[in-house]
Each structure stands twice: as C-alpha cells, then as structure tokens.
C-alpha cells in the first residue's frame, strides 16, 4: 500500500534501480481507451537517462512492454501492467556505498528501517522508481486529453539562483522541449545549461524549481476536507525524490499580502463564473474552480556528488566517501515529465471520484 497511489485510478509501482525491472500496475483504468506502447514510450523518453548532455550518461532504452490490460488496441478495464527491464548496470560502481552512507541520501534511513537494503544505485530509493509513474501518467494524460482537452504542462523556472521571468502565457510543449533544461525562456535556458555544466565539471550539483500548469480543468475536482485537490497534489509532489517544497497559486509570497489584495474577484466570463486574478491557483476550498491550476515544486541539489564527503559507515565509524557512478548533476529537467505524470494521475482520480458521488444518482 505505500507503493500505491490514487483511490479509483490507482497505480502500484515496483522495482529498484539495479534489480531486474521497474514497472507499474494501473487498476481502475476506464475501458475502451485506445492505447499503444508507443504513446507510453514518448513520455518515458522524456524521463530517460542519457537524453541530453546535461543528464547522466547512463544508457537505458527504457522500452515499455504491456503485460496485461490491453486487447486489440484498447484498454479492457482490467489491470494494465507495464514493464521496463533494467539494463546498463555497473553494480561495481556502488560497492563502496554498501558500507558507507551517502550524505543526504536514503542509504542510512533504509538500512535503519528495514535492517538491510539493496545498495546498488539506491535500490528502491532511486529516482528510477519513477519510470512506473511516468508510464501510468501517460495513460492519465491521454484520458485527460480525450475527455476534456485538458493539458498538463510543467517546465523549469529556476535552476540554482537563475530564475526565468514569469510566464504570462501557457507554454507550449514545443517551447518546453526546445531546450535540454526544459525552461521555455530560451535566454534563461542557455544560462541554466551553462550553470549545470559548470557545477558538473566540479563534481557538484544544483537544484531548482518546476512550475506546473493545467488548463481546461473542470470545476468541481477535489474533496473536502482531507483530500483537497491541493493536498493530493502536495502529497504527489513531495512523494518525488529530492523535493523540499510545494506551493500553489500565490504560495508563500501570498502570505505577505492583505486579504483585500489577495482575494480573486469573481466575474462572469462568457457565461461561466470565473476570477479576474488567480492567486488561488485554480482551487478554492480544496476544489477546482475552472481557472488554470498553477503550482510550483522545489527540488534540492542532487545528493550524490563526486566530491569527497565526510560520513559514517555501517558501524557508525567516521570515514570519507567519494561517489563514483553516473549521476545527474541536476535532476530538475528530467523531473518535468514526472511532475506532469503525477499531476495527471491526481486529476483523473479526482475526476472519477467526483463523478461517482455527484453524477451517479439524481434526486
């Protein structure tokens, strides 16, 4: 159950970095959705290592295979299982980590919690686990597209101390994918890429911020009180490796406004109720209000760096560790599609929940 997410459109992921495979089962997928492995692959390719010169050079084809749930090109309503075999493993690169805990990594906590761990490449704590999320997210995104022309778009707004100017328009996918860093502002993207290469050259790492927007969200998604839409989004985002913060709409900056400045005035937008501004970020009372969903996620710098660091070993004795292996100097660009995946999963799940309670019976 800790490895499942969603209540009606539920995914369960499995797999570790250097085990045989990673994968996912989607339970509750609506039937008759046209679906091909190629569509899933397109999203996996955006997550794949080795896709550009600012990511890890680890080579993984990450080819997805349907194990069940699709018949004659359509989903059957039965569990949709998808598998990606792991390849290009150099387990020897992790021998040192068997005995030493990498600072700010999950090595110590997993060992303490379970009494043992698969130390190769971080095992289950590796971001490789997100392969299953991205595959399932591709299904969710297709449902959103077909159901309501809903577009989920994430992009990088900050890398280290470099920030892009605010985006007034909804960026296109092409704009996001135009640069390896996935910042749709070309001049800023160039600076970001330069910074990432610079820190990598020193064996160091940087973090950043991803913004995610969704347009076309129907009114009414999200549930009082614990399963507010922003609560489930926050959980989804903080469940991603390396995340340290989440804010929606005005976020932390909004705490410095007065109510009279912060409130979003309601207006009639061509027959529907809308708001003039969007400090709410598309949710009010935990429920989508039909405006664009807007939130941001903060990622810390990659914990595994190639510099020597002090640490302790399995016996608690002080030692030094200099990681080898092939690591991303910055996880943020590859995380863009993961943020999109988790967002789509939350939305489809809440859509189904909303329909179940409010559209099933009429009185």
Q: Binding site for FMN, residues?
A: 124-126, 285, 300-304, 326
Residue in 53, 65, 88, 95 binding a copy of itself, rule: CB under 8 A: 65
Which residue lies nearer to a copy of itself by CB, 169 or 361?
Answer: 361
- Alpha-carbon distance of 319 to 313, in angstroms, equals 7
Q: Does 71 bind a copy of itself (CB under 8 A)?
A: yes
Bind-site residues: 47, 124-126, 285, 300-304, 326
Tell me if 275 contacts a copy of itself by CB under 8 A.
Answer: yes
How far apart are alpha carbons 231 and 222 in whole angstroms?
9
Least Å from the CB of residue 199 to a copy of itself: 6
Q: In 3D, which of 214, 210, 351, 233 has the Cα closest to residue 292?
A: 214
Q: Give 5 or 176: the residue with its C-beta nearer to a copy of itself.
A: 5
Binding residue for a copy of itself (CB under 8 A) from 125, 175, 188, 343? Answer: 125
Question: Which one-letter DSSP state was computed for residue 97?
Answer: G
Widest pairwise Cα distance in the chain:
69
Give the integer Cα–Cα distance in Å for 36 and 71: 10
Nearest CA-CA partner of 44 in 25, 20, 62: 62
The interface with a copy of itself within residues 288-347 (CB under 8 A) comprises: 288-289, 298-305, 307, 309-312, 316-318
Closest contact distance (angstroms) between CB of 267 and a copy of itself is 7
Secondary structure letter of residue 100 according to DSSP: B
Tokens of 363: 């009185």
Rule CB under 8 A: say whether 94 interacts with a copy of itself: no
Distances (CA, A) of 299 to 68, 187, 206: 34, 22, 9
| Among residues 42, 146, 187, 194, the one that binds a copy of itself under rule CB under 8 A | 146
Q: How far is the CB of 172 from a copy of itself (least distance, A)?
A: 25
Question: Which of 262, 292, 324, 326 touches a copy of itself by CB under 8 A?
Answer: 262
Which residues, 6 or more positions from 1, have their beta carbon under 8 angstroms from its beta carbon?
none
Which member of 139, 176, 199, 346 binds a copy of itself (CB under 8 A)?
199
Residue 32 touching a copy of itself (CB under 8 A): yes
Task: Give how many residues touch a copy of itself by CB under 8 A.
Answer: 162
Under the binding rule (CB under 8 A), the answer on residue 87 touching a copy of itself is no
The single residue among 205, 338, 344, 347 that binds a copy of itself, judged by CB under 8 A, is 205
Q: Is residue 7 a contact point for a copy of itself (CB under 8 A)?
A: yes
- HEC-encoded secondary structure of 122-136: HHHHCHHHHHHHHHH
Q: Nearest 5 degrees, angle CA 103-CA 108-CA 113? A: 155
Q: Which is nearer to a copy of itself, 67 or 190 (CB)?
A: 67
Is residue 71 within 8 Å of residue 61, measured between CB atoms?
no
């Amino acid at each position: 159950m800790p490895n499942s997410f969603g209540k009606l459109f539920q995914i369960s992921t499995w797999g570790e970095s250097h085990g045989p495979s990673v994968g996912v089962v989607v339970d509750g997928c609506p039937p008759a959705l046209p679906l091909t492995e190629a569509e899933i692959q397109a999203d996996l390719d955006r997550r794949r290592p080795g896709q550009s010169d600012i990511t890890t050079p680890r080579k993984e084809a990450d080819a997805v295979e349907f194990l069940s749930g699709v018949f004659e090109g359509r989903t059957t309503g039965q569990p949709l299982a998808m598998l990606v075999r792991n390849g290009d493993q150099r387990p020897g690169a992790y021998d040192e980590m068997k005995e030493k805990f990498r600072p700010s990594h999950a090595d110590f906590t997993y060992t303490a919690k379970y009494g043992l761990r698969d130390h190769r490449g971080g095992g289950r704590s590796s971001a490789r686990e997100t392969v299953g999320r991205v595959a399932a997210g591709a299904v969710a995104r297709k449902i959103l597209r077909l159901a309501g022309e809903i577009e989920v778009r994430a992009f990088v707004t900050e890398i280290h101390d470099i920030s892009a100017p605010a985006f007034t328009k909804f960026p296109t996918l092409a704009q996001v994918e135009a640069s390896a860093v996935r910042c749709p502002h070309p001049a800023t993207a160039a600076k970001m890429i330069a910074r990432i290469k610079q820190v990598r050259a020193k064996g160091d790492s940087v973090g950043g911020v991803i913004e995610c927007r969704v347009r076309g969200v129907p009114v009414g998604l999200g549930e009082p009180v614990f399963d507010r839409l922003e609560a489930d989004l926050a959980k989804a985002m903080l469940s991603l490796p390396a995340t340290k913060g989440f804010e929606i709409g005005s976020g932390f900056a909004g705490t410095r406004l007065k109510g009279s400045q912060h409130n979003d005035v309601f207006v009639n937008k061509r027959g529907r109720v809308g708001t003039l501004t969007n400090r709410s970020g598309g949710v009010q009372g935990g429920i989508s209000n039909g405006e664009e969903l807007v939130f941001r996620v903060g990622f810390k710098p990659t914990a595994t760096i190639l510099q020597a660091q002090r640490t302790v070993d399995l016996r608690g004795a002080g030692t030094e560790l200099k990681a080898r292996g092939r690591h991303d100097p910055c996880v943020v660009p590859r995380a863009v599609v993961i943020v999109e995946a988790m967002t789509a999963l939350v939305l489809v799940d809440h859509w189904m929940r909303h329909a179940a309670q409010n559209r099933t019976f009429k009185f």
